[in-house]
Amino acid sequence: MDLGLAAKRSIVTGGSRGIGYAIARALATEGANVVIAARTAADLDIAAKTLSEETGRRIVPVPTDTSDQASVDALVARAVAELGGVDILVNSAATPWSADKPTSFTATTDDIVRNEVEIKILGCLRTARAVAPYLIEQGWGRIIIISGLGARSANSIAQTVRNVSVAAVTKNLADELGPHGINVTVVHPGRTRTERLAARLAEESAETGTPIAELEQQIAKNSVNRLIDASEVADVVAFLASPRSIGITGDAIAVGSGVPGAVYY
């Protein structure tokens, strides 16, 4: 299936590694040119070089702090200058939700929640605010926000708040921007195989002697009983970023291979 992404101009925040990197690769493989943004310039340069060599597309690294509106505005201005405009925004920038972060009510401080709001929720608003005028002017665009299945469980106040809030932002943007030809969708990955998780499991495997495949199966608490890879999340995002996704906006798309026993409607 031709997704119609050839020569589309895209921005992917959090694009130097993990799910964001996989999304940048998927878009470029489909023919899009991509500006990747993250905080660390060195990581971005390596990612951009690798993706450009692999896909043959133009990959532009732009160091960006999504907690700062001026930095976000500079990112979008650079993307427009380098690519001649922008068609697609994928918001994947977020602080990783680590297993060692406090999850109980008593241990959840204001600063923990405030940090999630600043980077994830307000970061999404800032990037959408900077990109929207270009999408409105041309009468077409796609905004995809990467959230997480933490939106559908109560394992942590901060994690749930950030993911539910991102879904709420998505719906509001979708209704307001829809008449201008812009679709906005939130994607909820489940536990996903990324470089970070692979490194942690490799370390655990070396310490315990348990094969990595077995460790993955232990944490894959989904309906198919296997981890979803970042590239498989990226496949879904590539479709949502394409003209073929016209029938989907304002909704949450779960990419976690099913939550056993739960019914969502």
Q: What is the pLDDT of residues 33-91, one digit of tens each?
A: 999 999 999 999 999 999 999 999 999 999 999 999 999 999 999 999 999 999 999 99
CB 215 within 8 A of CB 205: yes
- pLDDT score of 96: 67
Residue 96 within any structural domain of the chain: yes
CB 51 within 8 A of CB 59: yes
- Strand order through the sheet with 182-189: 59-63, 33-38, 9-13, 88-91, 141-146, 182-189, 252-255
Nearest to 252, CA basis, from 160, 196, 135, 168: 168
Please determine, for residue 99, whether its predicted confidence score (pLDDT) is greater than 60.
Answer: no
Are residue 187 and residue 198 in the same domain, yes or no? no
* Higher per-residue pLDDT: 66 or 261: 66
Are residue 154 and residue 60 in the same domain, yes or no? yes
- pLDDT score of 196: 87
- pLDDT score of 166: 92
Are residue 221 and residue 234 in the same domain, yes or no? no
Please determine, for residue 6, whether its predicted confidence score (pLDDT) is greater than 90.
Answer: yes
Are residue 222 and residue 238 in the same domain, yes or no? no
Are residue 187 and residue 209 in the same domain, yes or no? no
- Is this structure's pTM higher than 0.85? yes
Give me the phi and psi of 126, to 5 degrees please: -65, -45
- pLDDT score of 262: 80
Are residue 80 and residue 123 in the same domain, yes or no? yes
Are residue 221 and residue 146 in the same domain, yes or no? no
Per the structure, the count of domains in the chain is 2
- pLDDT score of 19: 96
Which token pair is 250?
């304002």
Percentage of residues in the chain with pLDDT exceeding 90? Answer: 65
- pLDDT score of 119: 84
Single-letter residue type at 21 = Y
What does R_g of the chain's alpha carbons equal in angstroms?
A: 18
Are residue 116 and residue 210 in the same domain, yes or no? no
CB 161 within 8 A of CB 112: no
Range of the domain at 177: 9-191+229-255
Please determine, for residue 22, whether its predicted confidence score (pLDDT) is greater than 80.
Answer: yes
- Which whole number is the average pLDDT over 145-170? 88
Residue 196 within any structural domain of the chain: yes
Q: What is the largest distance, in Å, between two alpha-carbon atoms of the chain?
A: 57
Are residue 143 and residue 198 in the same domain, yes or no? no
Distance, in Å, from the CA atom of 141 to the CA atom of 229, rounded to the nearest integer, reads 27
- pLDDT score of 100: 62
pLDDT tens for residues 134-157? Answer: 999 999 999 999 998 888 888 788
Residue 16 within any structural domain of the chain: yes
Are residue 23 and residue 68 in the same domain, yes or no? yes
Residue 260 within any structural domain of the chain: no
CB 14 within 8 A of CB 147: no
Residue 262 within any structural domain of the chain: no
Please determine, for residue 207, whether its predicted confidence score (pLDDT) is greater than 60.
Answer: yes
* Higher per-residue pLDDT: 78 or 262: 78
Give the CA distances from residue 124 to residues 62, 93, 117, in Å, rounded to whole numbers and listed in that order. Answer: 17, 8, 10
Residue 265 within any structural domain of the chain: no
Are residue 183 and residue 212 in the same domain, yes or no? no
- Residues sharing a CB contact under 8 Å with residue 8, sequence separation 6 or more, in sequence order: 27, 31, 32, 33, 87, 88, 241
Q: Is residue 195 within a helix (H) or strand (E), and if so which, with residue range?
A: helix 195-208
| Confidence band of 113 (pLDDT split at 50, 70, 90) | confident
Please determine, for residue 108, whether its predicted confidence score (pLDDT) is greater than 90.
Answer: no
Residue 238 within any structural domain of the chain: yes
Look over the chain and give the mean of its residue pLDDT values, rounded to a whole number.
92
Distance, in Å, from the CA atom of 59 to the CA atom of 36, rounded to the nearest integer, reads 7
- pLDDT score of 94: 80
Are residue 174 and residue 241 in the same domain, yes or no? yes
Distance, in Å, from the CA atom of 3 to the CA atom of 260, rounded to the nearest integer, reads 31
3-state secondary structure 25-79: HHHHHCCCEEEEEECCHHHHHHHHHHHHHHHCCCEEEEECCCCCHHHHHHHHHHH
- pLDDT score of 149: 85
Residue 38 within any structural domain of the chain: yes
Give the CA distances from residue 183 to residues 133, 135, 155, 222, 242, in Å, rounded to whole numbers and listed in that order. Answer: 14, 10, 30, 28, 10
- pLDDT score of 97: 58
The alpha carbon torsion through 170, 171, 173, 178 (nearest 10 deg) reads 120
pLDDT tens for residues 236-260? Answer: 999 999 999 999 999 999 998 888 8
